[in-house]
Amino acid sequence: MKISIGSDHAGFDVKRDLIEYLKSKGYAILDCGTDSNESVDYPEFAHKVGFTITKLEANKGIVICGSGIGVSISANKLKGIRCALCTSENHAVMSRKHNDSNVLALGARMTDFEMIKKITEIWLSTEFEGGRHQRRIEKIEV
């Protein structure tokens, strides 16, 4: 599985550490930036990740900013992206089972790294249930 990952300056350290963690688990990573703690605008990196999903360059994406809110809003502006801001293991499960989220948003300043690793592992390993949930997903884009 290839995972696209991007962050703004607030999420840079978590992105760097999460990339190393995911590589150690055997995932292929596409790093969409940023490359430092220098101030940048989060929508650029959320959009880069989202486009890798819509262009089928990656299977799933992860976006990180300070709260996770800005990147999730930005990613969800792209047609075909279902980005879920997850702050708990249950959010990760439900965002995949019921919403077939294809991008995970994380808040570097809101969630400790051990929980981020757990959320990410669960999100990556949980399958979409389909069925009635597929019908609902088809109603999201208007």
The one-letter amino acid code at 70 reads G
Catalytic residue among 9, 47, 65, 86: 65
Which candidate, 54, 63, 66, places its Cα nearest to that of 33? 63
Q: Would you call 91 a catalytic residue per the annotation? A: no
Domain spans of the chain, in order of start: 2-138
**Average confidence (pLDDT) over 33-37:** 97
Structure tokens at 94: 């439900």
Q: What's the pLDDT tens digit per position in 87-129?
A: 999 999 999 999 999 999 999 999 999 999 999 999 999 999 9
The sign of the CA dihedral 20, 79, 47, 84 is negative
Q: How confident is the model at residue 142 (pLDDT cuts 50, 70, 90)?
A: confident
Question: How far is Cα 98 from Cα 116, in angstroms, rounded to an integer?
Answer: 20
Distance of CA 98 to the CA centre of its chain: 16
The CATH class that applies to domain 2-138 reads alpha beta
Q: Would you call 98 a catalytic residue per the annotation? A: yes
- pTM value is 0.97
Question: How far is Cα 17 from Cα 57, in angstroms, rounded to an integer?
Answer: 22
